[in-house]
């Protein structure tokens, strides 16, 4: 049975009850429009021993900038609930905007360094919105494991940092990207893609696949590896925000010759902005 | 028995144990150099039903600005512990700076509006440091009542706002100012005052007393009430940072003719900056 609740108090009480009885709580924060990537998080939570899975659905206005796609972001609560039922999620927490940010709300949780490059440059304030809403979700859920997809690699690192710095009793878990059979990383925004845009969007995962294979063959030159992605994405996308090879921990440039790294990309296809990444030596072939 | 611990994990475990057994936890966050004001907070916690009182002692560098008195702030852990023992405080949490802010720490908790006027104008960044450290203390302590002195009236309001906005399971309680027999509000910084400075510092509470009496006699004109304080403090202090009559909830100007308000003052006497306030119609005669 999947329960639906709209109030933070109900989420808190449910989680406290589970823990009182010795159970382990998992939280899967989402903006809804659930796809197999989200569902893999709930499945991982169950497999890793959670006795109770709470999944939040909240399109968080704080993390959308001026001119971004807040209004256009898909909202599909009914089918989200259906998917959660099938998966055995215990509680779906879907608060109203006013419940999360009532009149007079004026607190912000910010991570400074990790939020500056990459998405931070292209979406100023975005991560402040993320960490603020996630801090609220963590406060309500209490001691738990919280599952994030590594498609939002930087977000995962930022949230992990926030939880550690504030000493929240939350274990932040980053799970691998889930892809379509042809390589496209799952994203709620994919439904905005037309058929021809979707075809072009495949340039991204194709580029990452080239990098995966080059790395497997011993390539370690950063410029050469990023060029492999650019070669695929430049002709197929409308604008590249960044292609960057970074340290997986600090997100600082990984150096000229690398022995570890994550290759991150953000690019626009039509009106849709897509992000993707490959954690070298860790992620499966895209 | 008062236990002393330096690790957040020990504080967390102790509080969780108490709650598991159905007990109520109280937290008294301090920067040490305890005086009767701090001790009144622990006493109030006990009277209001706490089963376990944790008192933190941490001179938080984040809340001191450039050129402020971080280095000079009194540190008296031995006598603080002695006072806690006498009072039956259960746990003193005295972390090292590196335990609170290890290498790589980069998260900030900020309240925006309430932090702007008054102390915010004169101590930029001060409240960001306060809310960041208090958020960490609240995270470690978990569900509790947290006691703050109303001498730091704005701080109390800011922390209360932060706890509410982030939906922390913490009830923030503001307790009345404790004064010396002659009216001086207790402060760890009072020990910096020379005998003659201490004499001059009394201008502040004398001014507030005049306001208390005028209010009791029906005075409601804001300019007239603040003038009563200025008349006492201008000749006795070296510099007034502000004398302001504000809404006790929003800290916005209370208006020309008031029906509620808090009169707040910050002034320098010698090298020492003192703050004090009077909550009209609520606080006892200073």
Q: What is the pLDDT of residues B93-122, one digit of tens each?
A: 999 999 999 999 999 999 999 999 999 999
> What DSSP assignment string belongs to B104-138?
T--EEEEE-GGGSSTHHHHSTTHHHHHHHHHHHHH
Q: What is the pLDDT of residue B52?
A: 98
From first CA to last CA, the distance across chain A in angstroms is 35
Q: Is the ipTM of this complex over 0.85?
A: yes
**Strand pairing class (B170-175; B272-279):** unpaired
pLDDT in tens, B223-267: 999 999 999 999 999 999 999 999 999 999 999 999 999 999 999
Task: Decide if A268 is catalytic.
Answer: no
> What is the torsional sign of CA B250, B251, B256, B261?
positive
Cβ atoms of B203 and B236 within 8 Å: the answer is yes
- For chain B, percent of residues with pLDDT exceeding 70: 100
Distance of CA A211 to the CA centre of its chain: 22
- For chain A, percent of residues with pLDDT exceeding 90: 99
Contact A108 B110 (CB under 8 A): yes
Backbone torsions φ then ψ of A66, nearest 5 degrees: -50, 130
Angle at B251 between CA B249 and CA B254, to 5 degrees: 95
Domains A3-175 and A188-279 belong to one CATH topology? no
The residues near B103 (Cβ < 8 Å, ≥ 6 apart) are none
From the list B12, B106, B162, the residue facing A107 with the nearest CB is: B162
Say whether B170 sits in a helix, a strand or coil: strand
For residue A272 the two structure tokens come to 């849709």
Distance (Å, rounded) from C-alpha B276 to C-alpha B189?
Answer: 12
From the list A106, A110, A169, the residue facing B161 with the nearest CB is: A106
Q: What is the pLDDT of residue B55?
A: 98
Contact A106 B142 (CB under 8 A): no
Contact B139 A166 (CB under 8 A): yes
Q: Which CATH architecture has domain B188-279?
A: 2-Layer Sandwich (3.30)
Cβ atoms of A187 and B129 within 8 Å: the answer is no
Q: Where are the alpha helices (DSSP H) in B192-260?
A: 195-216, 222-233
Say whether B223 sits in a helix, a strand or coil: helix
Catalytic choice (A35, A38, A192, A212):
A38
From the list B20, B106, B136, the residue facing A114 with the nearest CB is: B106
- For chain B, percent of residues with pLDDT exceeding 90: 99
The CATH class of A3-175 is: alpha beta
From the list B131, B139, B162, the residue facing A167 with the nearest CB is: B139
Q: What is the pLDDT of residue B73?
A: 94
Distance (Å, rounded) from C-alpha B139 to C-alpha B135?
Answer: 6
Contact A109 B105 (CB under 8 A): no
Each domain of chain A, given as residue ranges in start order, spans 3-175, 188-279
pLDDT in tens, B134-184: 999 999 999 999 999 999 999 999 999 999 999 999 999 999 999 999 999
Q: Which residues of A touch B113 (CB under 8 A)?
A: 106
Q: What is the pLDDT of residue B108?
A: 98
pLDDT in tens, A166-184: 999 999 999 999 999 999 9
Distance (Å, rounded) from C-alpha B91 to C-alpha A104?
Answer: 35
pLDDT in tens, B62-73: 999 999 999 999
Q: What is the pLDDT of residue B163?
A: 98
Choose among A103, A6, A3, A109: nearest CA to A57.
A6
Q: For all residues of chain A together, what is the average pLDDT?
A: 97
pLDDT in tens, A106-164: 999 999 999 999 999 999 999 999 999 999 999 999 999 999 999 999 999 999 999 99
Residues 156-175 of chain B with CB under 8 A from chain A are: 161-162, 165-169
pLDDT in tens, B118-127: 999 999 999 9
pLDDT in tens, A208-228: 999 999 999 999 999 999 999
- For chain A, percent of residues with pLDDT exceeding 70: 100
Q: Which residues of A touch B168 (CB under 8 A)?
A: 139
For residue B143 the two structure tokens come to 């569900």
Instruction: Kindly compute the dihedral angle of the four CA atoms of residues A81, A82, A83, A89, in this order, to the nearest 10 degrees.
Output: 60
pLDDT in tens, B48-60: 999 999 999 999 9
A106 bridge partner residues: none
**B144-149 β-sheet, strand order:** B3-5, B91-93, B52-57, B25-30, B144-149, B170-175
A136 touches B at CB < 8 Å: yes
Q: What is the pLDDT of residue A126?
A: 98
Q: State the pLDDT confidence band at B207, using cuts at 50, 70 and 90.
A: very high
Q: Can you give the pTM of this predicted structure?
A: 0.96
Give whole-number Cα distances, A60 to A30, A65, A130, B98, B212, in Å. 9, 11, 8, 34, 46
Q: What is the pLDDT of residue A175?
A: 98
Q: State the pLDDT confidence band at A261, using cuts at 50, 70 and 90.
A: very high
Q: State the pLDDT confidence band at A197, using cuts at 50, 70 and 90.
A: very high
For residue B215 the two structure tokens come to 């209010």
Distance (Å, rounded) from C-alpha A274 to C-alpha B280?
Answer: 57
**A272-279 β-sheet, strand order:** A239-246, A262-269, A272-279
Contact B109 A165 (CB under 8 A): no
Instruction: Kindly compute the dihedral angle of the four CA atoms of residues B177, B180, B183, B185, in this order, to the nearest 10 degrees.
Output: -40
Q: What is the pLDDT of residue B209?
A: 98
User: From the CB of residue B257, how many other CB atoms can be counted at a distance below 10 Å?
Assistant: 10
């Amino acid at each position: 049975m999947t329960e639906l609740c709209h109030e933070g108090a109900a989420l808190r009480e449910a989680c406290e009850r589970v823990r009182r009885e010795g159970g382990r709580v998992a939280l899967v924060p989402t903006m809804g429009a659930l796809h197999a990537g989200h569902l893999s998080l709930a499945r991982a939570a169950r497999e890793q021993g959670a006795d109770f899975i709470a999944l939040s659905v909240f399109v968080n206005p704080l993390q959308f900038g001026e001119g971004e796609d807040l209004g256009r972001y898909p909202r599909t609560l009914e089918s989200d609930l259906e998917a959660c039922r099938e998966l055995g999620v215990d509680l779906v927490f879907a608060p109203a905007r006013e419940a999360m940010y009532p009149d007079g709300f004026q607190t912000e949780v910010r991570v400074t360094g990790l939020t500056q490059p990459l998405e931070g440059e292209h979406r100023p304030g975005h991560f402040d919105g993320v960490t603020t809403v996630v801090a609220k979700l963590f406060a309500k859920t209490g001691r738990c494991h919280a599952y994030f997809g590594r498609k939002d690699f930087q977000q995962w690192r930022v949230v992990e940092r926030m939880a550690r710095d504030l000493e929240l009793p939350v274990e932040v878990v980053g799970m691998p990207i889930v892809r379509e059979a042809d390589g496209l990383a799952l994203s709620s925004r994919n439904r905005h893609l037309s058929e021809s845009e979707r075809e072009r969007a495949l340039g991204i995962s194709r580029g990452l696949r080239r990098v995966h294979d080059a790395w497997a063959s011993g390539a370690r030159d950063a410029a050469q590896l990023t060029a492999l992605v650019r070669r695929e994405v430049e002709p197929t996308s409308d604008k590249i925000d960044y292609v960057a090879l970074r340290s997986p921990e600090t997100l600082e440039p990984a150096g000229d010759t690398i022995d570890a790294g994550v290759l991150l990309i953000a690019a626009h296809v039509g009106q849709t902005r897509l992000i993707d990444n490959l954690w070298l030596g860790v992620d499966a072939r895209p």
